[in-house]
Amino acid sequence: MSTPLPPSIPVPNAVSRPLPGYRALLAVDAKDFTGLAAIQHSAVSMVITELVDRALTEAGLAELKDAKSFPASTGDGLVFGFDPSWLPFVVFPFFRVLDGLLGRHNGQFVTSRLRLRASVHVGPLPEADGNGTARNDTHRLLDSRPVKAILAAPGSEQTTHLAAILSHRVYEDVVLGGYTGLDPDHFIEVPATVEGKQFAQRAWLYIPSPSGHLLRHGIVAALGEERPAEAADRETEPAERKAGRATRKPGRAAAKRPRPRREISQRVGQGNAIGGDVSGNVSNTFGAPEYDDPEEDL
């Protein structure tokens, strides 16, 4: 009896096919899981699943808990799909409830503290296995630099138990659309990039219980990166532009005549104006700023 051939791999854009239904995805991952003793791995995986399920129940999402699509353990976390209509409730109150449960757990178990990263995305995926670009991007968001940096920030160990990252699609549809119980000001835009991967997306961080250090010094400072728009632009800069910058004549910058140092002045009408110098001193005056036109390059 001959062995049946594996199914053929579809050729993209060869013919039109039905689009799979849209599925939302939630992925959760534990910080420093690999640093745990091997004997703890299985137990920690079970605790993560139990905490997520308990948070779903306490957030009023028991129906979602029992209707997960393609649930899978990742060893140090989990991932599952669900109907997108639940997305507003996952963003809030689920994340806040999960953060509270983690805080209570960490207060009881000093040697098995759990701090989690979570990502949420949505896109067309087959119901059978959930394999597709949206699932890959969900895991990339989970491994991205900004969400890792928040849990690694100084002073956050005792207070920041959960850092969640939303894809821009989820943020736009759920948060800006007004469907969830959180205001857009609860989120900060970040460039989601993954070291060693060709991945760069606009995304949004949500931190249910930020530490005092984050509040005092700012989340952008904790990320230790460029401003979000600049970093995202650099990751997605066309190759032609990069090549153009790399082939500029080496003497061009040096050929410019030195520009005299000068003070930057503001004329203030109404509103607030904030100014500072290179030493970090900051001054605040009330009024709407009218900036003098900068000098042309000589």
Instruction: Please give the domain boundaries of the chain with CATH numbers for all domains.
Output: 22-235 (3.30.70.1230)
Q: For the chain, how many helices (H) and strands (E)?
A: 12, 11
CA dist 51 and 97 (Å) reads 10
What was the pLDDT predicted at 192? 96
Segments of the chain with pLDDT less than 50: 226-237, 240, 242, 245-298
What was the pLDDT predicted at 111? 64
Range 265-274 burial, b when 16+ CB lie within 10 A, else e: eeeeeeeebe
What was the pLDDT predicted at 109? 72
What was the pLDDT predicted at 154? 85
What predicted TM-score, i.e. pTM, was given to this entire model?
0.72
What was the pLDDT predicted at 261? 43
3-class SS of residue 33 = helix
What was the pLDDT predicted at 68? 96
- Residue bearing tokens 């959930």: 130
Instruction: Tell me the one-letter amino acid at 150.
Output: I
Average pLDDT value over all residues in the chain: 79
In this structure, the chain runs to a length of 298
What was the pLDDT predicted at 203? 98
Q: Are 102 and 114 in contact (CB under 8 A)?
A: yes
